[in-house]
Amino acid sequence: MADVFIALGGNVGDRQKNMQAALAALAKGPVRVVARSRIYEAESWGPVPQGRYYDCVVLGKTSLPPRALLRELNKIEASLGRNRTREIRFGPRTIDLDILLYGRLQIAAADLEIPHRLMLKRAFVLAPLAEIAPWLMVKGIRISDALARLKSEARGVVPLPGDSTKT
């Protein structure tokens, strides 16, 4: 079983419901969830105006190899209404599931990059990740330090009131 960190995010429809459905689908399917962050709300960014995102990160265990896991994550996205062929890249979506880390593997391919190529530049990924694994090192940088470098952006990433980390 490999340790895997997965980021979840979405800003279309009932964000809370979509997030809970994605977490449940992960736990029923490809990943045994070991820990999860609270759900955070963050400003959106991208090529078009769009609503605020809900984001969280889970630490899980999986027996699937990376590409098989990616296929399963894409199936979960599709089951929750995501249609990659009709969406704008970095635009609004019901749910987005990204593999951040898969054990100590490093993969650099067109369809999959691990560690996720943008994770150290995104406060909305680093804040929930730092909550469950502040000690984690990625590319020689401690997650908590990477988040501190994004101090101004991180101020806009706030946990939802009343959300807990119970899975």
Residue 98 a catalytic site member: yes
Given 84, 98, 122, 142, which residue is catalytic? 98
Torsion from C-alpha of 61, 67, 73, 78, nearest 10 degrees: -170
Given 93, 104, 145, 149, which residue is catalytic? 93
Residues in the chain: 167
Residue corresponding to tokens 């995501």: 82
Given 86, 96, 117, 155, which residue is catalytic? 96
Q: Residue 72: phi, psi to the nearest 5? A: -65, -40
Residue 3 a catalytic site member: no
DSSP state of 161: T
- Measure the CA–CA gap between 102 and 60, rounded to whole angstroms: 10
Give 3-state DSSP helix, strand, coil % of the chain, rounded to 5: 30, 25, 45
DSSP state of 88: P
Given 15, 36, 38, 82, which residue is catalytic? 82
Is the bond preceding residue 134 a cis peptide, omega within 30 degrees?
Answer: no
CB of 69 closer than 8 Å to CB of 6:
no
Residue 93 a catalytic site member: yes
Residues acting as catalytic residues: 82, 93, 96, 98
